[in-house]
């Protein structure tokens, strides 16, 4: 997967910044006498999009399930999550490409935060590129895991093998802000110790 020299420099800079923030957080935890609240707890919120809100509440309510430390090799999976629409067929004004550079699969979730709007999803296998369309104001989630369960029902977790940071990322919503280009370039990057982050090379997303 190719990046320009400018994109690679920006990616390296953002990764360095993230690692620096991690060190500060870890140091603060060591210095504090207060008990540390684990990152696996979901900061639950209500969404106006009815379908996504039902999904969100069901998934967040499962935050006591055990995580898998040893992942099997996940296979490519082409169908969207139950009762959601295929992200590959979504219309929009802005092209998005996401480079999944980790050894985990991810589930991409995109929607408008209006009551009756549909929810679009797509599974992206490890070390692959995903492309779709999006609009300003729409929301994006990137949820890591591995192996899609067969015969899943709506509300079930989207993975059989759950990444330790699935629920952390369920608390991180990205909203598309105004940009002056027609393409957003994202990288789902592994920074060691199985820590993964979404790197926005286009500066198009706001974390909420």
137 vs 157: CA distance, rounded Å: 26
Percent of residues, the chain, with pLDDT higher than 90: 52
In this predicted structure, what is the pLDDT of residue 120?
A: 98
Q: How many domains does the chain have?
A: 1
Can you give the residue range of the structural domain that contains 184? Answer: 5-207
Q: Report pLDDT digits (tens) over 12-24.
A: 666 666 555 554 4
Q: Which residues of the chain have pLDDT under 70?
A: 1-3, 5-43, 192-194
In this predicted structure, what is the pLDDT of residue 53?
A: 97
In this predicted structure, what is the pLDDT of residue 144?
A: 94
Q: Report pLDDT digits (tens) over 147-178.
A: 999 889 999 999 998 888 899 899 999 999 97
In this predicted structure, what is the pLDDT of residue 84?
A: 98
In this predicted structure, what is the pLDDT of residue 42?
A: 59
Asked if 147 and 161 touch (Cβ cutoff 8 Å), the reply is yes
In this predicted structure, what is the pLDDT of residue 29?
A: 41
What is the pTM assigned to this prediction? 0.80
In this predicted structure, what is the pLDDT of residue 34?
A: 35
């Amino acid at each position: 997967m190719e990046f320009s020299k400018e994109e690679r420099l920006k990616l390296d800079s953002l990764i360095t910044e993230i690692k620096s923030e991690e060190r500060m957080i870890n140091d603060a935890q060591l210095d504090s006498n207060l008990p540390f609240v684990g990152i696996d707890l979901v900061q639950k919120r209500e969404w106006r999009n009815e379908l996504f809100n039902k999904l969100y509440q069901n998934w967040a309510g499962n935050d006591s399930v055990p995580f898998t430390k040893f992942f099997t090799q996940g296979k490519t999976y082409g169908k969207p999550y139950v009762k959601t629409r295929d992200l590959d067929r979504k219309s929009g004004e802005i092209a998005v490409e996401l480079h999944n550079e980790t050894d985990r699969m991810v589930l991409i979730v995109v929607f408008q935060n209006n009551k009756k709007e549909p929810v679009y999803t797509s599974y992206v296998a490890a070390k692959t590129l995903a492309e779709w369309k999006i609009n300003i104001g729409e929301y994006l989630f990137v949820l890591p895991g591995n192996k899609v369960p067969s015969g899943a029902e709506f509300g079930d977790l989207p993975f059989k093998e759950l990444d330790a940071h699935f629920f952390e990322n369920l608390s991180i919503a990205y909203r598309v802000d105004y940009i002056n280009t027609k393409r957003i370039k994202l990288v789902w990057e592994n920074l060691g110790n199985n820590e993964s982050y979404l790197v926005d090379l286009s500066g198009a997303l706001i974390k909420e």
